[in-house]
């Protein structure tokens, strides 16, 4: 008994081990992170997604800029630490850069840039658009300041003469401000997942591969990306996509939670414009370069508002 106490009195406390592990994260010390964390697979997944080895030097630079901002912002407060032999449990509050909201905002802005370019009189090339996306990303990281605080409980184990943090996905998600949840595509609930399906249907099947291409064809005889296209086939595909609309209309009308009030209000206007614009395309003879495409201004306004409302729910 006495020998056991003497053996244990000189070893590191679990709280000190946790402090050491968090310091390694903030300093981006890869060797110490590997030694002090039991499992870093989720961390590696996030880093790999931020800058794959096949990415350009510019992309890797932005990825490192993001990691630098994350570690500079990272803060924590350790609560209770309970040791039980070679195991321990600690509660802590982790404050991190709100990457989930930042990335959602950047995606929305990139989508708007793409839409604006599609209808520009002199569309930018893929290389020029890539440069715009890069600047948007770089500026977004530089300007980001919003943080999110998450309460987590971490398990620890005394192994090989030191305490190791057995970090799970919840821990890494807190460190990276919700980015892991976003990357893994975890839906908050079934209704939100279905709303995302509706949003994808509107922006893709109805707009991108429907109204947008048809309007472009009527304007200059090509698709919205400047390619040759079969307008009759495009109209047939749009008609098939419209067959999903009654189901989506019914689903959104049936949402009862107050948090969906904004989405429902916007969709009511959007739904009406979908019917109006589709009816106009269907009722006309579509000719290349005729210049008499239906006005999609209101549809685009409501579509953008709907997408933003859905994003805010995530």
Q: Are residues 198 and 177 in the same domain?
A: no
Q: Are residues 23 and 50 in the same domain?
A: yes
Establish if 23 belongs to a structural domain: yes
Q: Are residues 212 and 309 in the same domain?
A: yes
Compute the average pLDDT of residues 299-305.
96
Establish if 114 belongs to a structural domain: no
Compute the average pLDDT of residues 265-269.
96
Domain final position from 155, 184, 213: 184
* Dihedral angle, C-alpha 204, 210, 212, 218, nearest 10 °: 170
pLDDT digits (tens, 9 = 90+) for 36-83: 998 777 666 666 555 444 456 766 777 788 889 999 999 999 999 999
Q: Are residues 37 and 64 in the same domain?
A: yes
Residue 10 is given by DSSP the state T
Q: What is the pLDDT of residue 292?
A: 95
Distance, in Å, from the CA atom of 146 to the CA atom of 162, rounded to the nearest integer, reads: 35
Q: Are residues 16 and 152 in the same domain?
A: yes
3-state helix, strand, coil in the chain (%, to 5): 65, 15, 25
Please say whether the beta carbons of 23 and 170 come within 8 A: no
Please say whether the beta carbons of 177 and 197 come within 8 A: no
pLDDT band (50, 70, 90) for residue 4: very low
pLDDT digits (tens, 9 = 90+) for 181-224: 776 654 445 788 889 999 999 999 999 999 999 999 999 999 99
Q: What is the pLDDT of residue 118?
A: 85
Backbone angles phi, psi at 43, to 5 degrees: -60, -45
Bigger pLDDT: 152 or 60? 152
Distance, in Å, from the CA atom of 105 to the CA atom of 103, rounded to the nearest integer, reads: 5
Q: Are residues 172 and 199 in the same domain?
A: no
Q: Are residues 152 and 179 in the same domain?
A: yes
At 283 the three-state DSSP class reads coil
Establish if 102 belongs to a structural domain: no
Q: Are residues 78 and 202 in the same domain?
A: no
Bigger pLDDT: 64 or 229? 229
Q: What is the pLDDT of residue 242?
A: 93
Query: Which of these, 192, 199, 194, lies nearest to 303 by C-alpha position?
Result: 199
Q: Is the pLDDT of residue 5 over 50?
A: no
Establish if 287 belongs to a structural domain: yes
Q: Are residues 251 and 154 in the same domain?
A: no
Q: State percent of the chain over pLDDT 70.
A: 89
Lowest mean pLDDT among 30-44, 47-61, 129-143, 152-166: 47-61
Give CA 154 to chain center in angstroms: 26
Distance, in Å, from the CA atom of 263 to the CA atom of 181, rounded to the nearest integer, reads: 22
Please say whether the beta carbons of 106 and 47 come within 8 A: no
Distance, in Å, from the CA atom of 97 to the CA atom of 293, rounded to the nearest integer, reads: 45
Distance, in Å, from the CA atom of 300 to the CA atom of 302, rounded to the nearest integer, reads: 6
Surface-to-core class of residue 270, CB atoms within 10 Å of its CB (0-12 exposed, 13-18 middle, 19+ buried): buried
Q: Are residues 160 and 309 in the same domain?
A: no
CATH number of the domain at 76, please: 3.10.450
Q: What is the pLDDT of residue 189?
A: 56
Backbone angles phi, psi at 217, to 5 degrees: -65, -40
Domain final position from 126, 156, 184: 184
Establish if 139 belongs to a structural domain: no
206: containing domain = 190-313
Q: Are residues 82 and 209 in the same domain?
A: no
Compute the average pLDDT of residues 120-126.
87
Establish if 134 belongs to a structural domain: no
Q: What is the pLDDT of residue 185?
A: 58
Helix or strand holding residue 52 (H, E)? none
Distance, in Å, from the CA atom of 96 to the CA atom of 118, rounded to the nearest integer, reads: 36
Q: Are residues 256 and 171 in the same domain?
A: no
Compute the average pLDDT of residues 239-256.
89
Establish if 205 belongs to a structural domain: yes
Q: Is the pLDDT of residue 101 over 50?
A: yes
pLDDT band (50, 70, 90) for residue 111: confident
Q: Is the pLDDT of residue 27 over 80?
A: yes
Establish if 111 belongs to a structural domain: no
Please say whether the beta carbons of 264 and 252 come within 8 A: yes
Domain count, the chain: 2
Give CA 250 to chain center in angstroms: 27
Distance, in Å, from the CA atom of 38 to the CA atom of 34, rounded to the nearest integer, reads: 8
């Amino acid at each position: 008994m006495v020998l056991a106490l003497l053996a244990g009195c000189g070893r590191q406390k679990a709280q000190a081990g946790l402090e050491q592990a968090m310091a390694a994260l903030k300093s981006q010390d890869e060797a110490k992170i590997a030694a002090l964390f039991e499992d870093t697979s989720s961390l590696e997944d996030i880093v790999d997604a931020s800058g794959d080895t096949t990415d350009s030097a510019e992309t890797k630079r932005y990825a490192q800029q993001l990691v630098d901002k994350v570690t500079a912002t990272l803060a924590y407060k350790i609560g209770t630490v309970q040791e039980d032999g070679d195991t321990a449990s600690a509660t802590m509050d982790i404050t991190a850069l709100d990457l989930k909201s930042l990335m959602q905002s950047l995606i929305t802005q990139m989508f708007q840039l793409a839409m604006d370019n599609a209808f520009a009189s002199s569309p930018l090339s893929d290389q020029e658009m890539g440069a715009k996306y890069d600047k948007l990303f770089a500026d977004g990281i530089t300007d980001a300041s919003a943080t999110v605080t998450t309460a987590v409980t971490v398990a620890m184990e005394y192994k090989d003469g030191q305490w190791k943090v057995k970090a799970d996905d919840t821990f890494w998600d807190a460190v990276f401000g919700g980015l892991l949840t976003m990357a893994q595509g975890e839906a908050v609930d079934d209704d939100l997942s279905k709303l995302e399906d509706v949003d994808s249907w509107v922006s893709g099947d109805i707009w991108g591969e429907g109204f947008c291409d048809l309007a472009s064809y009527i304007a200059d005889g090509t698709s919205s990306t400047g390619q040759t296209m079969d307008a009759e086939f495009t109209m047939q595909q749009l008609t098939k996509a419209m067959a999903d609309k009654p189901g989506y209309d019914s689903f959104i009308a049936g949402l009862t939670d107050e948090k969906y009030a904004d989405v429902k209000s916007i969709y009511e206007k959007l739904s009406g414009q979908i019917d109006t614009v589709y009816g106009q395309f269907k009722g006309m003879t579509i000719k290349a370069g005729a210049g008499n495409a239906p006005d999609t201004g209101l549809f685009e306004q409501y579509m953008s508002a709907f997408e933003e409302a859905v994003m805010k729910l995530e």
